[in-house]
Every structure is written in structure tokens, then in C-alpha cells.
């Protein structure tokens, strides 16, 4: 174990000031969609389905003011549902 100096200890216990714009530039819905695709890539379809349910809940509730990217988000949700369906039913996929 390493010893912390008084200045290091003080840095850990004091809250850090929030300066400037938020650290994260992606919307939460985008991050959930990325996690969905990652779950699909890993073959964890149960988690992928749960993530889609969360994403659907987020996108179907009313927002004030309306989100300008709503249509694109809904289209991404539909495409994600289609991907999951094709992964779960590979025998019914015709190419």
C-alpha cells in the first residue's frame, strides 16, 4: 500500500469544481444503442433485448421541447429490433 500525502488526501475528499461544458458529448440513448450492439456482438441477446426496452422507453416518452432527432432515433430503434430478430432467427433470414 502507498501512503498518501496530506495534499493528495485532501484532493480525494474535496469535491471537484465543475467548469466548462459537460464531459460527455453523446446522448444517453446513443450510449444505450452502442451497448445494445456490443451485447449483440457478444451473443448476449437477453441483455440486448433489455437494452432495447430501456431505449424504447426513453424514445417513446414525450419530451418538451420535442427532440429534433426523434425520427432518426426511432429509425435506429427499429433497425436494432430488426438486427436482434435476425440474430435470433438466422434460419428465417433470406439473402
List pLDDT tens digits, range 20-64: 666 778 889 999 999 999 999 999 999 999 999 999 999 888 766
Helix 28-42 / helix 45-60 crossing angle, nearest 10 deg: 160
**Average of per-residue pLDDT values in the chain:** 81
Identify the DSSP state of 17: P
Amino acid at each position: 500500500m502507498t501512503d498518501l500525502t496530506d495534499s493528495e488526501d485532501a484532493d480525494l475528499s474535496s469535491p471537484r469544481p465543475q467548469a466548462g461544458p459537460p464531459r460527455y458529448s453523446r446522448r444517453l440513448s446513443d450510449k444505450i444503442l452502442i451497448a445494445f450492439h456490443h451485447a449483440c456482438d457478444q451473443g448476449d441477446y437477453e441483455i440486448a433485448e433489455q437494452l432495447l426496452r430501456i431505449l424504447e422507453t426513453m424514445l417513446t416518452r414525450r419530451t418538451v421541447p420535442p427532440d429534433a432527432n426523434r425520427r432518426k432515433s426511432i429509425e435506429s430503434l427499429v433497425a436494432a429490433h430488426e438486427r436482434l430478430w435476425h440474430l435470433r432467427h438466422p434460419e428465417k433470414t433470406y439473402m
